[in-house]
């Protein structure tokens, strides 16, 4: 019979990030809602700063790509640019009428395309790495068997 307490104490398990499993639609809604909230925060605290808005976009894109279900990984890089556009619309600074608002949105999207590309690239890379890990895990049991 092995002695109890003879070994070194085990370390406590590390706390992990929550692992929500969002569907493709849920990931898109999460990203859109998050970016609209970020736009509201930028409007209230930073005077509609599109720089701060763009700076907060890549973390939202990363969270979306990390939290979407494995079956819906392709939707993360598709949904986050839509979320960027949905959130930038209220703070884009267009003037009077639909045409003015539309021109403000187009101007904001064109002037801050770097943030849009950066966040989309982050989401695409995370989705690609996650997919590669999933494929690698599927191949390991086949080799053993």
pLDDT (0 to 100) of residue 47: 85
Res 1: pLDDT: 53
Residues of the chain predicted below pLDDT 50: none
Per the CB < 8 A criterion, the answer to whether 124 and 75 are in contact is no
CA atoms within a 13 Å half-sphere pointing along the CA-CB vector of 106: 7
Distance, CA of 111 to chain centre: 21
Give the SS3 label for residue 77: helix
Q: Which residue has the tokens 């736009």?
A: 39
Mean pLDDT score across all residues of the chain: 85
pLDDT of residue 39: 92
Rg of the chain over all Cα atoms, to the nearest angstrom: 21
For the chain, percent of residues with pLDDT exceeding 70: 82
pLDDT score, position 50: 86
Report the predicted TM-score, pTM, of the whole model to 2 decimal places.
Answer: 0.77
């Amino acid at each position: 019979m092995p002695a109890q307490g003879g070994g070194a104490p085990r370390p406590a398990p590390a706390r992990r990030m929550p692992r929500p499993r969002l569907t493709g639609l849920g990931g898109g809604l999460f990203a859109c809602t998050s970016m609209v909230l970020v736009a509201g925060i930028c409007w209230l605290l930073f005077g509609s700063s599109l720089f701060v808005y763009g700076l907060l976009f890549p973390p939202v894109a990363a969270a979306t790509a990390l939290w979407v279900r494995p079956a819906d990984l392709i939707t993360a890089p598709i949904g986050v640019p839509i979320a960027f556009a949905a959130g930038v619309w209220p703070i884009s600074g267009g003037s009077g009428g639909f045409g003015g608002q539309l021109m403000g949105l187009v101007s904001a999207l064109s002037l801050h395309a770097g943030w849009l590309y950066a966040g989309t690239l982050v989401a695409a890379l995370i989705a690609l790495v996650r997919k590669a890990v999933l494929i690698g895990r599927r191949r390991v049991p086949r080799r053993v068997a």
